[in-house]
Amino acid sequence: MAVPWMLLLVSLSTFHLGIFIWAVIRHFLTVKMPSGLQHPIKLRFLHCMALYMFALGNILEKLRICSTFRFIQFMHDVMAIKKNHNLVVTNMKFGTIPVRLFQPKAVSSKLRRGIIFYHGGGTICGSLDLYHNLCSFLAQHTDSVVLSVGYRKLPDHHHPCLTKDCLNASIHFMKGLTTYGVDPSRVVVCGESVGGGAVAIVTQALLSFPNLPKICAQVLITPALQVIHFRLPSHQQYQNVPFLTKDILMMGVCKYMDIDSSWEDALMNGTCMPPDIWKKYRKWLSSDNIPRRFKSKGLLPEFPEPFNEAAYLETKSIFDPEISPLLVDDKIIAQLPKAFLVSCEYDPLRDHALLYKKRLEDQGVPVTWYHVEDGFHGCIVLFDKHPFSFPCSIKLVNAIVSYINDI
């Protein structure tokens, strides 16, 4: 009886080892590690693990056991949640939207600051659990009430589910701020990656609700702010840097926008961009707006390819300001609250923050910008994942806490 079990164990071990070896080979064939990244071996290992999980998820999907995205989400959610005895944590639902409320236990003589947080993950992964420790840290170290929003994700939900859920949850929360012990004049909207893009979209949308309290500040951490221009300097320079490689970025964009993956090259090369639309948005999206120190030599031209009308018709939803908030009119930008923008050097989305910074400043909106020279996309979620945290992760979190404490 022991022999069949032994054979099964050996077979499973060989199977998983083979997948991991494939992930390691793919990593070294496709990934480029900039010399300025600290602890590159640690990052290489984590990226190999990410590729391993994607490969295993793909196999499970082909076997019709579960989808790749659900497997990735499940694996992320098994990460340990740290209990913070200084906070009361409450799971709730605003309608059908799951949210998690973090409230300091200590008695306060006055209403506290409120932080509405939208997590990252590109709608592929990310969850209330994965970002639990970060929200707990923010609540304790800024003495704030934090609401974390669990919006709908892939594979079942596409655009505009993310922004609708974030907006609706935020409106619900802001209608009853004092119930949660929050000062209506001190509400901050904060988000990371695709959640940072949601911050921009929601903050812009809330201008249409004059009866609600005004947002006092917006915090955008390595935000995704447009899905139109993929030839910005940062997209070209860091397209093969973990964790947001070109393949993962384009997969997330196409899946969330429900665009067939056959149009990925058209999106990357800009052939889906009509000349008249580029003429209209060039003033906001052009790499001419990126400071020279962020540009390396040998960059490809922005839109050299001939226009493909078929590609445009299949992908035209990308020009909606509710997916690319960099495209809203100046009159809307001018009404926005002060902003804290975080960018990481080794991040393909770095230039999104730089473009938005210029847009805000051009319209007189106060901007505080924090640039992490040794940072990479997604590093913030590792800030407490010892031994896999990075110096850039801790610097980034501390900078956010410092800014919020000054509000």
Give the distance from CA 2 to its chain's centroid. 48
Q: State which H helix or E strand residue 163 sits in.
A: helix 161-174
Instruction: Give me the helices (H) in 175-219, please.
Output: 194-205
Is residue 143 part of the annotated active site? The answer reads no
CA–CA distance, 11 with 85 (Å, rounded to integer): 44
Query: How is residue 149 written in tokens?
Result: 């929003």
Q: Is 378:224 a contact under the CB 8 Å cutoff?
A: no
Distance (Å, whole) CA 392 – CA 243:
14
Query: CB-side exposure of 123: number of CA atoms within 13 Å?
Result: 29
Q: Which of 129, 165, 347, 351 is catalytic?
A: 347
User: How many Cα atoms occupy the beta-carbon half-sphere of 78 within 13 Å?
Assistant: 5
Residue 136's closest CA among 105, 168, 103, 160? 103
Supply 21's token pair: 């070896």
Instruction: Specify the 3-state DSSP secondary structure of 274.
Output: coil
**Of these residues, 136, 148, 377, 393, which one is catalytic?**
377
∠341-383-167 over CA atoms, to 5°?
45
Is 247 part of the annotated catalytic residue set?
A: no
Catalytic residue among 136, 170, 193, 343: 193
Q: Is 39 a catalytic residue?
A: no
DSSP lists the bridge partners of residue 346 as: 376
Whole-angstrom Cα distance, residue 389 to residue 344? 16
Strands of the 338-346 sheet, one edge to the other = 87-94, 97-104, 144-149, 112-118, 182-192, 217-221, 338-346, 367-376
User: Token match 């009159």: residue?
Assistant: 331
Catalytic residue numbers read 193, 347, 377
